[in-house]
Amino acid sequence: MPEIIHTASLVPDERREDFLPTLFGLPLLIVAENTVYSLMERLSPHDYGGGFWDFYEYRGRPLFLAPTSKPRFRIICETNDYEGEVSAEAAGIIATLFAFSHLSFRFNSDLLAQGYGRLHSYCAGHPEASEIFQAID
């Protein structure tokens, strides 16, 4: 049986303003967005310095954010000794997964649990699944 590879879709500009509230919930909008960016700064201190992020969805549901400042990022996870280089998309997935996890310890939100589960499941079919799972392990 051939391997199934999932492809997320870029959220069009006219729907960007609804993406984060739908992904994280309106009450967590600002803290969640800042958490993703802060985590990316910690995960990729040599390559990430801020900038514009793209938003991605899968089957019409919000999935993850990805930085656009570089095509690839060196990721360093001090908590599990992972070091590697991944695409901007995979780096964004890693940062978004970490954000869902970190926020779930502070806030009781079904959206955080659902978002994490949806994104984690999506990763199984991602071309960089091995790197993503090593980074979040």
Instruction: Name the architecture of domain 9-136.
Output: 2-Layer Sandwich (3.30)
Identify whether the C-beta of residue 126 lies closer than 8 Å to the C-beta of residue 93. Answer: yes
Q: What angle do CA 66, 68, 74 make, to 5 degrees?
A: 75
Backbone angles phi and psi of 86, in degrees to 5: -135, 165
* Ranges of residues in the chain whose predicted pLDDT is under 50: 1-2
pLDDT of 103 reads 97
Taking the domains of the chain in order of start, what are their residue ranges?
9-136
pLDDT of 114 reads 96
For the entire predicted model, the pTM comes to 0.94
CA atoms of 136 and 86, how far apart (whole Å): 13
Per residue in 33-72, pLDDT tens?
A: 999 999 999 999 999 999 999 999 999 999 999 999 999 9
